Structure 1
């Protein structure tokens, strides 16, 4: 077993349990301060209740019913394997993890529907409330909700019970780098609740469930698709949605549209978002009632769409107060392929300009929380470190972060390539190796689940301007139908680019030709007339630093491993000299250095796993990277 599973006895409370190493932010975590922030910055309502904190837990076999007695306390939202959970036990594939908590609904919520939200639960779960089965969910990285109104008591405590199973690497489900026996590049499993749990009230008559924001820079407008939790009849002419774009305290644009129609907000002289100037507009979306804009006009004479309908509602008179209001933000930014300094070789364009994308492979793991970051402050530290070091991008590797991570990236200004978490049986099979021409076969059910979770990821993260690229497959990990999936993602989201497969087996699909090159001197990708050429992984310089290792007894490795600061810096300079050469002479569009931090036995981070040691000074990194941001003539 990894050393993280051999900690303090089960009776130790979460606040005193220690990991082999911990970041400074993880050391501050208590049951009273664990993730208090609002979890959904893109769809904010003023009333909500945070359910993070201590829950009861028990682990049983899958064949028995819910327990009547529980083993102890678990700190939500940290997974059961993590030190911060206070449990630090593995959940085996044949077992079930049970959670229990008693909640009371605020009296001021009476007369409204109550939604219970889970940020993420890995992997399959079912929820009971006061003994009634509310529903189930499958998927380890996506948020989900239940309407629990009809299960609630009119007064007093309500008993929530959640049962969770996780096949980990014995199943084919998307899970990224989690395996039951961690080694090398494969890490500790994550099971159960690992993101915020919370409740909110919504109007009984109807509420806004989704607001989809698409910047159209070429037309200087914002496309808005605001959707209710259930459809409204076409014959309902008085239900409408008002959308307002705001710059500081100034209204930039506002319009009213019929429910079910697309709105377009003109954004005159838009302030474009970029890593140098990450400007964000605020947006408010309201469910309103209007006077029928067509009066006594016969129904068969009324327009059902098009300009006439849009104009009528834009002029409609809003009556009363909105029944539902959500706030969020958006940015005006454009990502595309276009001509670059080398004739015939397309490059990555940001707002119609060639901007080299320089970033690290970012795994998002933490020594005491595993997949769960400890706090906003911790995430901001990492992103700010990358910005100050001369990175303008990161590749979020085989993990989907909590929404607040992307909010901080939007706010601070860093481009993100978002990987889809890989899914395959284990790390020794269904793993298509480099140079293999034929993709492996996958079971239909496994493909359906992968594509469902891929779709959910894109839908959930759609509004974040920092995300500019979707990465469908990493290397050969569970790869299948790559050309079809790349085309599918391009149709799902035409506003972004698609990296069909990062490294190994290029199938000619997507917007990128992406190679991985871990040699001491990175190789150059060959030219491609219809796609940008990028190095999706390189580097991997290892430096194990005593006192900052996850487990000193295990193999602590890098692709090249050194023992002092000078040789590490020299090796880094040597690698980046080739990246700069390829940028200048071959129109290389991007490079991804492995990696932001050490992770468990991997010690090739720019930071140690506890984030306490910066291995190459920030000013040195910034100076090394500077030539990548000078225009190539």
Structure 2
């Protein structure tokens, strides 16, 4: 082992030991490159007029407790007390990183013996103390110096995003405040800094949910701010931080408007003069080709490498007078005349506009703005790119965990979309890190840009004026951040905002007011961006004709009747399918029992559904179509850095950083990427591909190529064999069984008799039976050899007595295998009467594990196993949050599990011995139906009256668990 590898290995040992993990395995996977390739905000062309210092690195943290007297839901957050000397955490936080980053994904309890042993872990920084996860308020501190060469520059503090309410102090003086968890902001700190000494930067943060205001009538409401999805519980500086040195006379914003249909490039340039003198300046520049030098393989393609090429267009200079302290916006129009190549998904050609601010003596500023020559328009019911009809086929994803902050994962997602034939993406439910829009420009994906107004959360408080004020500010800031991206086709002001009224159930007049405000919010996008016609509330139709795009989210099945006809505007289906909510019984019509059998079978059902929707709805009628999360449900979750399937993953598994931590470096420097947090492997684990396609992905790919897939022919439940005539009309209970067993037999409708000689069915309590009891059984066996009989040994799966095991003709033991559903051998006479829906208990009330332990041994091998543990545990999927469910099912499938036979028959001459370890304690509608059917199939006479009289509870519809609804 060379010294560098040894030092990395030792560093990893130290980090894991700090977290309480010892005995690092030799198979640990170390990634030797940057987890998240990134670059700064200032380009080489802008220097020396502009400069930057990245403040990423080790910051001090002080967690502040929420006062016990504070009452939630008031809309007034607790006061953030000042940091105290000597109270700073011993461990420093690695910015960018939310303070509670290890709880992003809610999966930090991993491994055997924990509450959620199959949940994917979310520990990206093992060095962070456990209590940081619970932080709701705190201070972050960093010292910095101003470079000497910035003496004549204004100094800006730039945050890409801070989660929560944020107050900024420089050298003890308050500079500014921000409450928007997803978008960047600048603060001019020129008047607060020491130019020739150390400066102290303090950032105070309070969790956004501390600002919730409950409503007395609409109990689900609370959030007075755009929440986002899966980022709404973050707190802290979760994206990059910079000091920017900028000239006093400078360009503050450039909006490049490519009006292709007018052959005109329109530049809106905002400028400012912060000197004490009037300035007569000229503004002009050039447009140069932006050339991408990134590699083509999975490791180098996400790594940033580019240069500027030849001048494609010269922007003639214009003379401007800027008075002292004045800001103004200048509009420049220039004919293009075929000098620029079109940006399209197939040819994502990019350019950089370099604008210079000069006077006769000097150049004050140079500002670089990347853009593309293209125009998106709505013409009637068509969506057009550069004057030609185009259809968008894309994908969405929730930001399920911290891996989304990596350019490598963004690249992997986009490459997958390209691979299935897609050309679009909706970074879903909130503004995503800037890299997603940069990469879309470079790779050729059309982006529907969405705010954090996530209606599906049902939390937004539409009764508060502050909510609407913050939402307007949020949309404006999103547009100002992203409007120069050629990939952005339009603006989605929110996602499924209809759900707020649907599930809060206001009066119609109240809902109408909310709708009016939503329309006003959405259409306000035109004020900041007149170049894009595509403006929508994704999933909210067109708000009674008031929006230029009709958009709806569809459940599973082909529902062409729900598409409006003769509507002179583009039609959008932004999500479709049963991906996140579909139960096996809902997917049965597509593939039958496969929907119950395995995760792959479930995906086959999703595949048929997505295929018919793509072919029969999207291609003929839609301008934009996206299934619901191809990247999450159309691919298999990745076992990154975990390959020992004889145990559950733990904190020694995953992909670990192989590069030393660097101060002042843009991008995330994770310590670890856990297994199963994502479906992508962007080269991190050499044993795994980029992704593993499931049938859903393949079907969509085939559909968009116009090729054939399995046709949809509805699967009907088959007719079952005729039940045998009862042979066993009364049963005798051997010995002294547990009261629970006697109660079960009664509820199942079996007639008991105390006359053992008259019964040809003897029931044995396999958990209590004694040697003496079994001597009686042995005696009856001899008498039955001519006329036949049945011995039914029942255990709830907890134990088998030693006497019983010794008495059995072959060895049998209990295994550590439990199941919430069973599989059946249909080649057996009894098994032929059952279908997997009959053996599915994963949705019943209470304890769903019908099998607590399985059976193994020679008795099983020589006997006939009728029922066994299901290979899939749907209890890990149903009613489970999206960031867990898929990974849990895939992990469960992958683990090497012990044998799990649940019911076996074994011939003892002319007597049938039946041994069951199915938990008879569970008595629900589902289990009572199963047991009565089983006993009838076994030719046991049972009372057909269902003795269960349970009331069926009406479950309130949960949009995130149960799918779309009208």
TM-score by length of 1: 0.76
Q: Post-superposition shift, 1:89?
A: 5.1
Corresponding position of 2:555: 518
Residue 493 of structure 1 pairs with residue 525 of structure 2: no
Corresponding position of 1:550: none
Match of 2:624 among 575, 590, 594: 590
Q: Post-superposition shift, 1:253?
A: 2.2
In structure 1, distance between residues paired with 2:20 and 2:556: 37
Residue 123 of structure 1 pairs with residue 164 of structure 2: yes
Residue 325 of structure 1 pairs with residue 394 of structure 2: no
Equivalent pair of 1:393/1:414 in contact (CA under 8 Å):
yes
Corresponding position of 2:62: 58
Q: Post-superposition shift, 1:100?
A: 0.7
In structure 1, distance between residues paired with 2:574 and 2:63: 40
Residue 238 of structure 1 pairs with residue 280 of structure 2: yes
Residue 283 of structure 1 pairs with residue 353 of structure 2: yes
In structure 1, distance between residues paired with 2:20 and 2:450: 31
Q: 1:167-191: CA deviations, max 9, x gaps?
A: 238332112124xxxxxxxx77111
Name which one, 1 or 2, has greater alpha-carbon Rg.
2
In structure 1, distance between residues paired with 2:275 and 2:195: 30
Structure 1 residues 244, 87: CA separation in 2 closer, same or farther (over 3 Å shift)?
Answer: farther
Q: 1:191-248: CA deviations, max 9, x gaps?
A: 1111100112112x32221111110101222111111245899x95722211311232
Structure 1 residues 118, 202: CA separation in 2 closer, same or farther (over 3 Å shift)?
Answer: same
Residue 80 of structure 1 pairs with residue 99 of structure 2: yes
More strand by share: 1
Corresponding position of 2:445: 414
In structure 1, distance between residues paired with 2:274 and 2:191: 21
DSSP-derived class of the 1:383 partner: helix
Corresponding position of 2:224: 172
Q: Post-superposition shift, 1:261?
A: 2.3
In structure 1, distance between residues paired with 2:20 and 2:183: 29
In structure 2, distance between residues paired with 1:528 and 1:108: 64
DSSP-derived class of the 2:395 partner: strand
Instruction: Note the residue ranges of structure 2 that are not aligned, 5 or more in a row.
Output: 1-12, 22-28, 66-78, 103-123, 213-222, 290-308, 321-328, 501-513, 583-594, 639-676, 682-690, 708-966
Equivalent pair of 2:458/2:499 in contact (CA under 8 Å):
no
Report the number of matched residues.
531
Structure 1 residues 63, 151: CA separation in 2 closer, same or farther (over 3 Å shift)?
Answer: closer
In structure 2, distance between residues paired with 1:534 and 1:229: 41
In structure 2, distance between residues paired with 1:286 and 1:416: 30
Match of 1:363 among 380, 384, 398: 398
Corresponding position of 2:468: 447
Corresponding position of 1:580: 615
Equivalent pair of 1:472/1:498 in contact (CA under 8 Å):
no
Q: Post-superposition shift, 1:412?
A: 0.8
Structure 1 residues 165, 230: CA separation in 2 closer, same or farther (over 3 Å shift)?
Answer: farther
Equivalent pair of 1:273/1:333 in contact (CA under 8 Å):
yes
Corresponding position of 2:702: 623
Equivalent pair of 1:541/1:562 in contact (CA under 8 Å):
no
Structure 1 residues 581, 154: CA separation in 2 closer, same or farther (over 3 Å shift)?
Answer: closer
Structure 1 residues 89, 493: CA separation in 2 closer, same or farther (over 3 Å shift)?
Answer: farther
Mapping for residues 132-531 of structure 1, pairs under 5 Å: 132-168=173-209, 170=212, 171-178=223-230, 189-203=233-247, 205-229=248-272, 238-247=280-289, 248-259=309-320, 260-269=329-338, 270-289=340-359, 319-339=360-380, 346-366=381-401, 369=402, 373-374=405-406, 376-422=407-453, 427-428=457-458, 430=460, 441-475=462-496, 476=498, 480=515, 481-504=517-540, 506-507=542-543, 508-523=545-560, 524-531=562-569
More helix by share: 2
Match of 1:563 among 598, 610, 615: 598
In structure 1, distance between residues paired with 2:253 and 2:199: 28
Q: 1:262-281: CA deviations, max 9, x gaps?
A: 11132221311110111111
Structure 1 residues 14, 54: CA separation in 2 closer, same or farther (over 3 Å shift)?
Answer: farther
Mapping for residues 606-621 of structure 1, pairs under 5 Å: 609-610=677-678, 611-612=680-681, 613-616=691-694, 621=700
Could you tell which deviates more after superposition, 254-263 or 472-481? 472-481
Q: 1:352-401: CA deviations, max 9, x gaps?
A: 212111011132433xx26x512x23322221221122110011211212
- Structure number with greater CO (CA < 8 Å, separation at least 6) is 1
DSSP-derived class of the 1:262 partner: strand
Corresponding position of 1:307: none
Equivalent pair of 1:472/1:486 in contact (CA under 8 Å):
yes
In structure 2, distance between residues paired with 1:621 and 1:463: 31
Instruction: Note the residue ranges of structure 1 that are not aligned, 5 or more in a row.
Output: 1-10, 20-25, 179-186, 290-318, 340-345, 432-440, 545-559, 629-633
Corresponding position of 1:67: 84
Structure 1 residues 540, 273: CA separation in 2 closer, same or farther (over 3 Å shift)?
Answer: farther
Q: Post-superposition shift, 1:495?
A: 1.1
Q: Post-superposition shift, 1:16?
A: 8.0
- Alpha-carbon RMSD across the aligned residues, in angstroms, is 3.5
Equivalent pair of 1:596/1:607 in contact (CA under 8 Å):
no
In structure 2, distance between residues paired with 1:36 and 1:245: 24
Equivalent pair of 2:525/2:535 in contact (CA under 8 Å):
no
Corresponding position of 2:770: none
Equivalent pair of 1:543/1:604 in contact (CA under 8 Å):
no
